[in-house]
Chain A
């Protein structure tokens, strides 16, 4: 039984190695886009709903004024 479990564990380790090899970078890209673009979109929607700066009362001239840095959402 020891040999069989050893072989199974080796197979599982090999499979995880392949998964990590090809899936890690797409996973990091997914995390980078999913955890960020949502907050950026929220900020954009917020500026459309409240078209003036809450603190100073100044009217926004464009949507991007409420967002700190307008960044590209597409990869180069």
Chain B
């Protein structure tokens, strides 16, 4: 009985709704009467109202109000992106290229043997023996390092049971955290350094805390910011807050400018009464030269030290030489005798003090 009623009502409504549009999405010209009129032109055309034009959607992203901060911010960001400035590099690497030409990090004393063993692509182990040094007693050093694409762990253990540990983690390619600890058996000499580094598109921001104590907030805190203003010039500043005890507090601020030329880099750092300027020039792909000037004005005295250093890189050897205005001359030579075996010589002569230090070493990598 339901079927009869349903079919009956359907036929009734079909008759009634023949001329009316069936549904909202069916346009008048698609109804039966319109189709019939199209087939038989003698039939009068049904009155189809003209389709009103679609009104233009209002622009949503530009509000007429002047207090739209997000529009300002996005406009500023678009302007910054259009400038296409390069990343200025890390703050602690400001004088990095010039310092890489110096012998400072490569000098050693006495006899030294380094054995590096790569157990796999992620894991390496290093043994270091040092003997006959004037500055340090004979010691053995063990180092283990584990690297993945985002994390880097490195631990060093001394024969005096001093431990150095480094942990670097990259949360994103722009954000990275670094933890450095130095734990000694003698109490009071331990150190912890926490560093957070953010590398933006055209700026770098860095925050460093050394020996932060969660109880009294003592320690050394450093924040630095470096920004590219033109494709060649970068300016920045660093603020250092020293808080050895909860009562004593000292703040130092320094301004920094770095100019990168086609084959040279000039940097200047001004801090109160101290100036540190460096100039690095790449003469060709094998020869680099760096000059550094350290000037200290204050407290009634003026001191300045200038250092000139050069790095010569050959296929089988690397030579670094350095001359100082304090009458100090030093040189380091690393020669790759065979694949996996290199030979090092280091010499340091201080003419003013009349001291000299020499070192001989071998480095094996297996």
Which residue of chain B has the shortest Cβ distance to A74 in the bound complex? B119
A21 touches B120 (CB 8 A): no
Residues of A1-35 whose CB lies within 8 A of B: 6, 9-10, 17, 20-21, 24-25, 28-29, 31-33, 35
B117 touches A76 (CB 8 A): yes
Among the 9-residue stretches B140-148, B199-207, B251-259, the one with 4 or more Cβ atoms under 8 Å from chain A is B140-148
Residue numbers in B under 8 Å from A40 (CB-CB): 120
Instruction: Give the bracket for the number of chain B residues in contact with chain A.
Output: 20 to 34
B142 touches A25 (CB 8 A): yes
The number of residue pairs between A and B whose CB atoms lie closer than 8 Å in the complex comes to: 63
The complex places the Cα of A40 from the Cα of B121 at a distance, in Å, of 11
Which residue of chain B has the shortest Cβ distance to A5 in the bound complex? B215
Residue numbers in A under 8 Å from B148 (CB-CB): 35
A71-B165 CB under 8 A given contacts A25-B144, A76-B127: no
**A73 CB, nearest partner CB in chain B, Å:** 8
A25 touches B146 (CB 8 A): no
Residue numbers in B under 8 Å from A71 (CB-CB): 118-120
Which residue of chain A has the shortest Cβ distance to B154 in the bound complex? A28
Which residue of chain A has the shortest Cβ distance to B143 in the bound complex? A25
A21-B183 CB under 8 A given contacts A28-B153, A32-B123, A36-B120: yes
A17 touches B190 (CB 8 A): yes
A32-B183 CB under 8 A given contacts A9-B215, A20-B165, A76-B127: no
A20 touches B144 (CB 8 A): no
B215 touches A17 (CB 8 A): no
Contact of B215 among A6, A21, A75 (CB under 8 A): A6
Tell yes or no: A49 within 8 A of B by CB: no
Tell yes or no: B89 within 8 A of A by CB: no
Which A residues lie at the B interface, using CB under 8 A? Answer: 6, 9-10, 17, 20-21, 24-25, 28-29, 31-33, 35-37, 40, 71-73, 75-76
Which B residues lie at the A interface, using CB under 8 A? Answer: 115, 117-123, 125, 127, 142, 144-146, 148, 153-155, 157, 161, 163, 165, 181, 183, 190, 214-215
Among all A-B residue pairs, the 5 with the closest Cβ atoms: A32-B123, A36-B120, A25-B155, A21-B183, A28-B144
